[in-house]
């Protein structure tokens, strides 16, 4: 579904963050990425999302989605791929304050010319049934994150990217958000990649990857990592 081949990223200040990272993410997998602070987890997600570009020295097929090299797409095609095939649970893509909950969740459907009726059903699926016309400021942090999850999944993307989806939530709310994310990912059959520092969050995934200076390695031992 997603293949990384010899992916590297050096920022303008000369700091190499990712160096020759390769991995194959399969359809239907819920994968957690852990690793020390500053090792490049968010950078990796941003590259996959197309929000940043790999080093010019990387091979053209450094990031392949469904067998298509991201680098081979022009801006329009890359936007289309992102819109149709990806869902994001990022702080930077936060719920829009001036839109109602149902309007927020309907956005990916509108952008993909799909019927918007599914937005209300998706809100109900994340436990916010009947609150379609509320505005984000009326929600708790956990409820807001439910809206973000509903919006990320409503158009049934093949690839879901989540950056610390439970970062600011209390343990009970985080637990219910992760159960929800896990359930909805399984229901839609998406491949999901979740960056997290929390062992409890990683424990919900099918596979835990450890990102370090030497690249990506699979691990079964979440206790290796700091909370």
Contact residues: ligand ATP, CB under 6 A: 11, 13, 15, 17, 35, 37-43
Least distance from C-beta 26 to ligand ATP, angstroms? 23
* CB closer to ligand ATP, 40 vs 87: 40
Separation CA 178–CA 29 (nearest Å):
15
Establish how many alpha carbons lie within 13 A of residue 40's alpha carbon, considering only the half-sphere containing its beta carbon: 25
Exposure pattern of 142-170 as b/e (b: 16+ CB <10 Å)?
bbbbbbbbbbbbbbbbbbbbbbbbbeebe
* CB closer to ligand ATP, 39 vs 124: 39
Q: Which of 85, 71, 226 is nearest to 156 (CA)?
A: 85
Least distance from C-beta 27 to ligand ATP, angstroms? 25
Least distance from C-beta 43 to ligand ATP, angstroms? 3
Least distance from C-beta 90 to ligand ATP, angstroms? 12
CA distances from 59 to 63, 71, 79 (A): 9, 9, 21
The per-residue DSSP string of 60-120 comes to TTSEEETTEEGGGS-HHHHHHHHHHHEEEE-GGGPPPTTS-HHHHHHHHHHHTT--TTHHH
For residue 137, with 0-12 CB atoms within 10 Å meaning exposed, 13-18 middle and 19 or more buried, which class applies? exposed
* CB closer to ligand ATP, 58 vs 119: 58
* CB closer to ligand ATP, 41 vs 146: 41
Least distance from C-beta 127 to ligand ATP, angstroms? 28
Separation CA 165–CA 1 (nearest Å):
22
Alpha helices in 154-225 (DSSP H): 171-188, 199-202
* CB closer to ligand ATP, 53 vs 182: 53
Least distance from C-beta 40 to ligand ATP, angstroms? 4
Least distance from C-beta 33 to ligand ATP, angstroms? 9
* CB closer to ligand ATP, 9 vs 151: 9
């Amino acid at each position: 579904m997603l293949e990384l081949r010899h992916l590297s990223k050096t920022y303008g200040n000369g700091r190499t963050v990712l160096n020759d990272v390769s991995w194959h993410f399969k359809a239907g997998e819920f994968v957690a990425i852990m690793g020390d602070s500053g090792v490049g987890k968010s950078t990796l997600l941003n590259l996959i999302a197309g929000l940043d570009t790999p080093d010019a020295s990387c091979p053209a097929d450094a990031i392949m989605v469904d067998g298509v090299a991201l680098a081979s797409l022009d801006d329009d095609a890359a936007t289309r791929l992102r819109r149709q095939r990806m869902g994001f649970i990022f702080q930077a893509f936060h719920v829009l304050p001036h839109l109602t909950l149902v309007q927020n969740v309907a956005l990916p459907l509108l952008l993909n010319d799909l019927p918007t009726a599914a937005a209300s059903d998706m809100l109900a699926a994340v436990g916010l049934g009947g609150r379609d016309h509320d505005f984000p400021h009326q929600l708790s942090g956990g409820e807001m994150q439910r809206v973000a999850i509903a919006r990320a999944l409503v158009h049934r993307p093949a690839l879901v990217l989540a950056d610390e989806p439970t970062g600011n939530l209390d343990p009970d709310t985080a637990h219910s958000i992760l159960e929800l994310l896990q359930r909805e990912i399984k229901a839609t059959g998406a491949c999901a990649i979740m960056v997290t520092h929390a062992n409890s969050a990683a424990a919900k995934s099918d596979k835990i990857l450890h990102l370090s200076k030497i690249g990506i390695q699979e691990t079964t031992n979440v206790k290796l990592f700091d909370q």
